[in-house]
Structure 1
Amino acid sequence: MPIRRAAEHEPIARVLPMLSVPHLDREFDYLVSAEQSDDAQPGVRVRVRFHGRLVDAFVLERRSETDHVGQLGWLDRVISAEPVLNPEIRRLVDAVAARYAGTRPDVLRLAIPPRHAGAEKAQADPPLLPVIDPVDPAGWARYGGGEGFLAALRDGRAARAVWQALPGEQWCDRIADAAAAAVSGGYGVLAVVPDQRDIDALWQAATTRIDPAAVVALSAGLGPSARYRRWLAALRGHARLVIGTRSAVFAPVERLGLVIVWDDGDDTLAEPRAPYPHAREVAMLRAHQLRCAAVIGGYSRTAESQALVQSGWAHDLVASRPLVRAAAPRVLALDDEGYAEERDPAARSARLPSLALRAARAALDNGAPVLIQVPRRGYVPSVACARCRTIARCRHCMGPLSLSERDAAGAVCRWCGRMDTALRCRRCGSDAIRAVVVGARRTAEEMGRAFPGTTVITSAGDAVHTEIEPGPALVVATPGAEPHVPGGYGAALLLDSWALLGRQDLRAAEDTLRRWMAVAAQVRPRGDGGVVAVVAESAIPTVQALIKWDPVGHAEAELAARSEVALPPCVHMAAVDGSSDAVSALLEHAELPEDADQLGPVDLPPGVRRPPATEPGEPVIRMLVRVPKDEGLGLAASLRHAIAIASARRDQEAVRVQIDPLHIG
């Protein structure tokens, strides 16, 4: 075996191994051979031998000296000479790990996609003039300060705003205008959206203003080669606009001048893998580090976005009230009680008050489609005893029972899949059942009877329609699956509102308003006959916010309510999940801030996934740790240190730690 000779200049590489063990989240020094020296530069992928096995690592820096006592090992090999971990992304990774009490390797797995050798060899020439036409400011001029905002983006100033999109606004066109303004000034743009449908819509709008060669889209649906090739286009400076879902927030956009997050209240923007960062928070961290512009946009507004406005970090970008009233449809709140007293048989069969039914018929008569939003897909996703209203549950696992079709032989458990052909209430013994929640397919069946001869389209689950043709039709959709219609819907009916508003969730009201406004924004203005009928009591504040089209006021009230009871975003909160012994041991090792409050323990809230390390039948608890707003980094640091101690001891069960989880319980 030939003798290795160390590099003459800076023969030591300080690397970060990609290990999943929290207490090994630190740098290690390795010797660089003369043959590896040219390629083993900061940011490249390498392979090192660690405790007898080969692991991947990133080179963080080259050094002339080491503080390690003892003999250093050699770099095994340089996997690729492409410096994929640039200083900007490295700083962001460090900040996200510190913010969310995570490890840098876990964040790096989110930030940098797996390597694909063929993609690295491909070369492309960057477009010389990426902006096709000058940006028309007319769209943004409808918002107070909109034209000045575009000018600030073109000049590279750190303009930060929370944008309240008008009802009926083509949001992708406005984002494309903002992106084109920044690109025309020589800056890169990053746009983060919830799902693939949004990526496709924004791509179509952006490529009419920016050369398609300068725009890349990143999403989980891409294959390894395509994703890595597009990611490299951003790294190498060829892509000036990057559009993607949550993980694209880490994309290495060159000379980043604008970060955009659309619909930040969508659950899909919260990463389900450790350390569970939210794309909005990562985007704001990035904008703060780079001193660049940032926009959070949506038809509604979250309490977190409103907190940014109240703190002065961002400004409101809203239209005047006369413009809002002119663009919004007419909203009617219809009490859902008393269907049995309705004299209209069609109204009873469609589960709609007569007023909503008349609005739907008027829209259909005018040749416009009608959108019906229901909270659940399927036929009857939940049933109960018709006599005592006790929820029907599976005899084997106690899961909820559902009906898959009208003439089903029995009810099917949504948890274990077993069928119960002899339903009988476990409390009163009755064999009569009633629907608790009616799904999209059952609603479509009822609407077909109420409107004979009208086309009924269902968009839910695996059968989602992206767009439908204009014309009279009934469209039954679940939240988030509403198809786009050129020219807008003539009317929208929002059914079973209690299923959204009645959830035991901190964000139930906020999320319900977001879903309603996303539907209402697709309805024609009131001047063109557009009507939205929500089956709910008009006195409910969330319903009032929809009627008045006042998402800002609703967000202000929501933020004030959370401030009174010390809930995020007015404080920082950590959720610690695991067995009772493991959670207690972790909190004993954590040197929590003096102002920290410990809340709990409680059983793991329903619907929350169990920590990966726990046994299936093992009881899991949740402890909440709450600190003031300015103690967030201290809380994360103390929990991060405690996790490392527990990891090093190896005799304690792992726990899951989430900082500011989306759903507290």
Structure 2
Amino acid sequence: MSSENGRPEGTPGQEPPGGEQLALIRETVRRARPPRARPRTWRGAELAPRDPVARVLVDKGLLHLDRLFDYAVPAAMDAEARPGVRVRVRFGAGERGGRREGGGLVNGFIVERRAESDFPGTLAPVAQVLSPEPVLTPGLLALCRAVADRYAGALADVVQLAVPPRMARAERTAGRDGPDGTAAAGVPHPPPPAPGTWARYPAGPGYLRALAAGESPRAVWTALPGPHWPEELARALAATLAAGRGALAVLPDGRAAARVDAALTALVGAGRHVLLTADAGPEARYRRWLSVSRGTVRGVVGTRAAMFAPVRDLGLAAIWEDGDTGHRDPHEPMPHAREVLLLRAAREGCGFLLGAHGCTVEAAQLVETGWARPLAADRDAVRAAAPLVRTVGDGDEARDPAARAARLPSLAWETVRDALGRGPVLVQVPRRGYVPKLACAHCREPARCVHCAGPLAATGERTPPGCGWCGRAVPEWTCPECGGTRLRGQVFGARRTAEELGRAFPAVPVRTSGRDHVLASVPDRPALVVSTPGAEPVAEGPGYAAALLLDGWALLGRPDLRAGEEALRRWLGAAALVRPRSGGGTVVVMAEPALRPVQALVRWDPAGHARRELAERAELGFPPVSRMAAVTGPPEAVAELLESAGLPAGAEVLGPVPLPVAPPGQPRRPGAPPPGERWDRALVRVPPGSGAELAAALRTARAARLARRTGPPVRVRIDPEDIG
């Protein structure tokens, strides 16, 4: 049954007419009074005298409910129910005690106040104003709407990522002083910083001058190796603050954010910026966020969630290491910090700085299209700052014929032995754990659990192997192929590597850094530091004396379009921590020397590697030259969605293809099909300029399916990371 304006009766947020309300509607129609002049009273409650209608964004995150709902504003809440505040409203309808009433209470945000409503029934009132703090400002709401449209997601999901949870005590204390108790209001702008190490880049001082003059330059910065990048990024932020504008920097992890925070504090002093990371705790983080929202401070350094920070008069949006997976939010609709900052730069007219030791194909495209200018040092400066990079083919075969097949050839041992006399040595291992992959020693068949077919792994030298899925210990194992009972390691993790190095160098301390325990720094004295990619600690002083990059095949052999780019990025991140060649710094990479990423590391030419990757993707029509969306779900649901979606002209559907069926008992990863179920995956590719149409078409089709409740849901990912 539908109402006069086409909405179904009992629409969430609107109480269906009944009893006295129905009589009142009939009387109104009979007298032919102008409809919707203002909402009627709700059960005799007095409404606000002015703009009594509140348009509320309800925190449900469902595409078919992704719109604003009208609620009546009681007179008692008139002063506090302002646009941007958090409220509680009744959403949905149900039967209670034989009479039809409003649904349960849910959170939401008031978006605007109006004098009229287009709903012909009786409006339900706002139940409660949770806080008078206007946290969803018009600028932040517009940004969230743009991000939701780009990623075919629900506005409520994006707002949930952008606005942190409320902490009442933080609202009472934030803004009186600075974010952490230091006086900030009324402090004059800091002076423009000196170029410092930016002088190593031909365009570096000019970029800082443009920021200090209030301009909005856009650049892709290929940072030189060494410990100077946090200070250089801080100088760019300080130059923006000197112009009286806001500055925002997004880092991939808390350790990198802390380094930039310390550098910026040393340049401009305390109280002019805040550090937004999860390490601060919910209350402190919300208090700092409120300081930014209220305009107490205009500088923000933070991790992924800081991409939505409501900085006033934003003058610079900067991101470091945009290729790091930590920049993509795992929650719906999975926005990437780089794309959000690009949206902000375009919408708010601010400067943009994308910096890294490496270079992604997306960064290369920004330069190729002319949207941003390259900011790099000349070759002489690169050679002076970079360490010596050696491969296993550097004349090592004559002394060690098995050098290419060995995990640690003689070149690596000699490099470690010589470097330990000068300082610490970094060893990068792609896999964590002890021996995460076992196989039959006779036929090399992968070892699997007899209960759930999960892979067997060793967790220690004297512990029996166990299943990686069900956790059962397997003290006695027999190969089903050849009957062998002996196991061998196929892949060795960081713990096993540290154990082997400790035996080879018994007088040298061995330290590990990985997911369970990440070291921030190590002292400048002889030590072996075994780390997984991304967890490498910074060596105090001039840096590491040498670095070993082990098991390059594990990074390069992944079935991923970005395998080469990701391997080079991780190698550059570790090699940048090593002393320059003039200081004896040496890097040994264990990978095939002829491969393109290895040669790019030897030459220290990440931008050239990215340009070649971009050219090849342009020939094949792969992202970022084209825009893609991944549609995943049960086969019938995927086919129905693609058929019903009005895809833009020129759209090309690749697939669908079946995804591997996970055996029962395997832990389900986010986004993966349930064990034992078959799912299909299709890729939809559109030419440049049609990405918005593609997102809108898929979003509309998903919303229609959810509204009709026809079949299981389908997942849609815009710009999927894995298109293999």
TM-score, normalised via structure 2 length: 0.87
- 2:658 is aligned to 603
Question: Pick from 39, 56, 61: which aligns with 1:15?
Answer: 56
- 1:500 is aligned to 555
1:190 to 2:248 alignment = yes
Return closer, same or farther for 1:506/1:130 CA change in 2, 3 Å cut-off.
farther
- 2:167 is aligned to 116
- 2:29 is aligned to none
1:212 aligned counterpart, secondary structure = coil
For the 8 Å contact 1:349–1:446, the answer to whether it is kept is no
**Unpaired runs of at least 5, structure 1:** none
Question: Pick from 430, 435, 438: which aligns with 2:492?
Answer: 438
1:431 aligned counterpart, secondary structure = coil
1:278 to 2:336 alignment = yes
Instruction: Report the CA distance between 1:517 and its aligned residue.
Output: 0.3
1:147 aligned counterpart, secondary structure = helix
1:224 to 2:295 alignment = no
Counterpart CA distance in 2 for 1:518 and 1:5 is 63
Question: Pick from 522, 525, 549: which aligns with 1:471?
Answer: 525
Q: How does 1:552-631 map to 2 (within 5 A)?
A: 552-604=607-659, 615-631=674-690
Amino acid at match of 1:140: W
Number of residue pairs matched by the alignment = 661
1:663 to 2:722 alignment = yes
- 1:358 is aligned to 414
Instruction: Report the CA distance between 1:275 and its aligned residue.
Output: 0.5
Counterpart CA distance in 1 for 2:43 and 2:73 is 15
Amino acid at match of 2:78: S
Question: Pick from 446, 450, 465: which aligns with 1:411?
Answer: 465
Return closer, same or farther for 1:599/1:459 CA change in 2, 3 Å cut-off.
same
**Unpaired runs of at least 5, structure 2:** 1-41, 93-102, 179-183
Amino acid at match of 1:573: M
Amino acid at match of 1:6: L
- 2:13 is aligned to none
Question: Pick from 472, 484, 493: which aligns with 2:538?
Answer: 484
- 2:25 is aligned to none
- 2:516 is aligned to 462
Counterpart CA distance in 2 for 1:140 and 1:606 is 52
Q: How does 1:324-363 map to 2 (within 5 A)?
A: 324-335=382-393, 342=400, 351-363=407-419
Counterpart CA distance in 1 for 2:406 and 2:420 is 16
Counterpart CA distance in 1 for 2:139 and 2:395 is 57
TM-superposition CA deviations, 1:396-415 (whole Å, max 9, x none): 2222211112222x211222
Decide which moves more: 143-152 or 418-427.
418-427
Return closer, same or farther for 1:348/1:86 CA change in 2, 3 Å cut-off.
closer
Q: How does 1:100-139 map to 2 (within 5 A)?
A: 100-122=151-173, 123-126=175-178, 127=184, 128-129=186-187, 134-139=192-197
Amino acid at match of 2:715: R
2:582 aligned counterpart, secondary structure = helix
Amino acid at match of 1:642: A
2:187 aligned counterpart, secondary structure = coil
TM-superposition CA deviations, 1:150-174 (whole Å, max 9, x none): 0111122121111000011421111
2:224 aligned counterpart, secondary structure = coil
TM-superposition CA deviations, 1:10-58 (whole Å, max 9, x none): 2222221111321110112222233222222211112222222222221
Return closer, same or farther for 1:468/1:214 CA change in 2, 3 Å cut-off.
same
- 2:453 is aligned to 398
Decide which moves more: 1-10 or 88-97.
1-10
Question: Pick from 245, 248, 271: which aligns with 1:213?
Answer: 271
1:296 aligned counterpart, secondary structure = strand
1:284 aligned counterpart, secondary structure = helix
Instruction: Report the CA distance between 1:499 and its aligned residue.
Output: 0.5
Amino acid at match of 1:50: F
1:108 aligned counterpart, secondary structure = helix
1:653 to 2:712 alignment = yes
Percent sequence identity is 52
TM-superposition CA deviations, 1:510-545 (whole Å, max 9, x none): 110010000110111111111101011211000000
Counterpart CA distance in 1 for 2:529 and 2:607 is 29
Instruction: Report the CA distance between 1:134 and its aligned residue.
Output: 4.5
1:543 to 2:602 alignment = no
For the 8 Å contact 2:247–2:314, the answer to whether it is kept is yes
Amino acid at match of 2:257: I
Instruction: Report the CA distance between 1:468 and its aligned residue.
Output: 0.9
1:213 aligned counterpart, secondary structure = coil
- 1:30 is aligned to 71
Counterpart CA distance in 2 for 1:391 and 1:335 is 30
2:539 aligned counterpart, secondary structure = coil
Return closer, same or farther for 1:553/1:151 CA change in 2, 3 Å cut-off.
same
Q: How does 1:67-82 map to 2 (within 5 A)?
A: 67-82=118-133
Return closer, same or farther for 1:612/1:542 CA change in 2, 3 Å cut-off.
closer
2:145 aligned counterpart, secondary structure = helix
For the 8 Å contact 1:613–1:654, the answer to whether it is kept is no
- 1:255 is aligned to 313
TM-score, normalised via structure 1 length: 0.95
For the 8 Å contact 1:131–1:180, the answer to whether it is kept is no
Counterpart CA distance in 2 for 1:442 and 1:348 is 21
Counterpart CA distance in 1 for 2:535 and 2:261 is 19
Counterpart CA distance in 2 for 1:547 and 1:40 is 61
Amino acid at match of 2:539: V
TM-superposition CA deviations, 1:345-372 (whole Å, max 9, x none): xx9999422222222222112x211111
Amino acid at match of 2:487: I
Decide which moves more: 500-509 or 169-178.
169-178
Return closer, same or farther for 1:218/1:606 CA change in 2, 3 Å cut-off.
farther
The structure with more radius of gyration: 2
Amino acid at match of 1:482: E
Counterpart CA distance in 2 for 1:617 and 1:537 is 38
1:302 to 2:360 alignment = yes
2:342 aligned counterpart, secondary structure = helix
For the 8 Å contact 1:375–1:500, the answer to whether it is kept is yes
Return closer, same or farther for 1:198/1:214 CA change in 2, 3 Å cut-off.
same
Counterpart CA distance in 2 for 1:323 and 1:198 is 24
Amino acid at match of 1:631: S
Return closer, same or farther for 1:328/1:457 CA change in 2, 3 Å cut-off.
same
Counterpart CA distance in 2 for 1:172 and 1:475 is 22
Counterpart CA distance in 2 for 1:529 and 1:610 is 44
Counterpart CA distance in 2 for 1:428 and 1:277 is 48
2:691 aligned counterpart, secondary structure = helix
1:5 to 2:61 alignment = no
1:98 to 2:149 alignment = yes
For the 8 Å contact 2:189–2:244, the answer to whether it is kept is no
Counterpart CA distance in 2 for 1:446 and 1:615 is 39
- 2:476 is aligned to 422
Amino acid at match of 2:81: A
Return closer, same or farther for 1:131/1:377 CA change in 2, 3 Å cut-off.
farther
For the 8 Å contact 1:203–1:217, the answer to whether it is kept is yes
1:54 to 2:99 alignment = no
1:629 aligned counterpart, secondary structure = coil
Return closer, same or farther for 1:649/1:222 CA change in 2, 3 Å cut-off.
farther
For the 8 Å contact 2:440–2:487, the answer to whether it is kept is yes
- 1:642 is aligned to 701
Counterpart CA distance in 2 for 1:76 and 1:443 is 60
**Alpha-carbon RMSD:** 2.4
Counterpart CA distance in 2 for 1:641 and 1:594 is 16
2:690 aligned counterpart, secondary structure = helix
Counterpart CA distance in 2 for 1:422 and 1:428 is 15
TM-superposition CA deviations, 1:53-108 (whole Å, max 9, x none): 22222111122222223332222222211111111111111100100000000000
Return closer, same or farther for 1:86/1:419 CA change in 2, 3 Å cut-off.
same
Instruction: Report the CA distance between 1:643 and its aligned residue.
Output: 1.1
- 2:97 is aligned to none
Amino acid at match of 2:176: A
Return closer, same or farther for 1:481/1:186 CA change in 2, 3 Å cut-off.
same
Counterpart CA distance in 2 for 1:173 and 1:528 is 21
